[in-house]
A and B are shown apart, each in its own frame.
Chain A
Amino acid sequence: MPVQPVPLDEVERRILNGLQGGFPICERPFQEAANALGLDEVELIERIERLIKAGVLTRFGPLFNADRLGGANVLAAMSLPQTDFDRVAAFVNAQPEIAHNYRREHHFNLWFVGAAETPEKVESTFSYIELVSGYPIYRFPKEREFFVELKLKA
């Protein structure tokens, strides 16, 4: 999944730095966004297409907030011995309710997010993983989300 850094030209940097949010809602939004970036509509659309194809962008569009839409997602961790890591990690990955899964350098070496329509469904997936793997899952549900204004500089 990780890709190598992709070389970007000045126009692409301008697009990346200027359009991580605030895309207009109007009849010709690309035209309006292009004007603000000193480009024309067709050029902006073509550049975004290219950036998606090159893997620089994962997506272009609205970023929904799953919490506000009624879904449940819970961060959780497991502490696995190296000898069992691959087997348990693959089993965790195989559950459709697991959205993200990372290996991290720590005593807790597997970190994943369970996401489903309801908290009960997330919990039943976690219980199932515990039962089958024989290892406990530590749950870290969010208690509060702090506002972030993420801008990755390109």
Chain B
Amino acid sequence: MAPLALDPIDLALISATQSGLPLVPRPYHSVAEKIGIPAEEVMARLTSMLENGAIRRIGLVPNHYALGYRANGMSVWDVADDRVDELGERIGHLNFVSHCYRRPRCPPHWPYNLFAMLHGKSREEVTAYAEEIRVLLGKASRASDILYSQGILKKTGLRIT
């Protein structure tokens, strides 16, 4: 989707909230005070950002490892071009998939065009999830692989402003 037009107040709002909301009874009022606009405007702008997709969701962001999700597997699939969009939508809705994208193949090194990130408490669990995807894709998938993480070397989060 195309980028949204953001004004300086939007940018100030993003900058003031991207690392978290203040943990006080009136968090939006506290943000409003910080950037110098009325609380009603903070709430109206956040509501419209939720509606237009600038904000995916508001809530808590868990640390996978602390919840015991130690196995992280990037499952990759070579799916027929005329089926990949329809099947990608269905895979995204499986409740164990955290990200799902269509990406270009890179032949001859890389035949896969569908990426689905899987999280589990063990590799066995991740393998079982991949098996569910395999069944769902059926003959539309010609090849697949799972790339397990051996370590996070860097994770800064996306700093927007």
Chain A residues within CB distance 8 Å of chain B = 1-6, 15-16, 19-23, 25-31, 41, 45, 48-49, 51-52, 54-71, 73, 75, 77, 79, 89, 92-93, 98-108, 110-112, 115, 138-152, 154
Contacts and interface: CB of A to CB of B under 8 A. Distances in A.
B25 A64 contact: no
A130 B103 CA distance: 21
B89 interface: yes
The binding surface of chain A is classed by DSSP as mixed
A144 B153 contact: no
Interface of B: 1, 3-4, 6, 14, 17-21, 23-29, 39, 43, 46-47, 49-50, 52-70, 74, 85, 88-89, 91-93, 95, 97-104, 106, 109-110, 115, 119, 145, 147-158, 160
Contacts of B85: 144
Contacts of A77: 110
Contacts, number: 255
A145 B61 CA distance: 20
Contacts of B153: 89, 92-93, 101-103, 110, 112
Contacts of B147: 104-106, 108, 111
Could you say which of B43, B106, B154 has the most chain A C-beta atoms within 10 Å of its C-beta?
A: B154
B154 A101 contact: yes
A101 B62 CA distance: 19
B94 to A, nearest CB: 9
Contacts of A148: 92-93, 97-100
Contacts of B46: 25, 62
B150 A56 contact: no
Lowest 5 A-B CB distances belong to which pairs?
A: A146-B92, A70-B3, A21-B57, A5-B68, A61-B21
A21 to B, nearest CB: 4
Contacts of A140: 103-104, 106, 110, 115
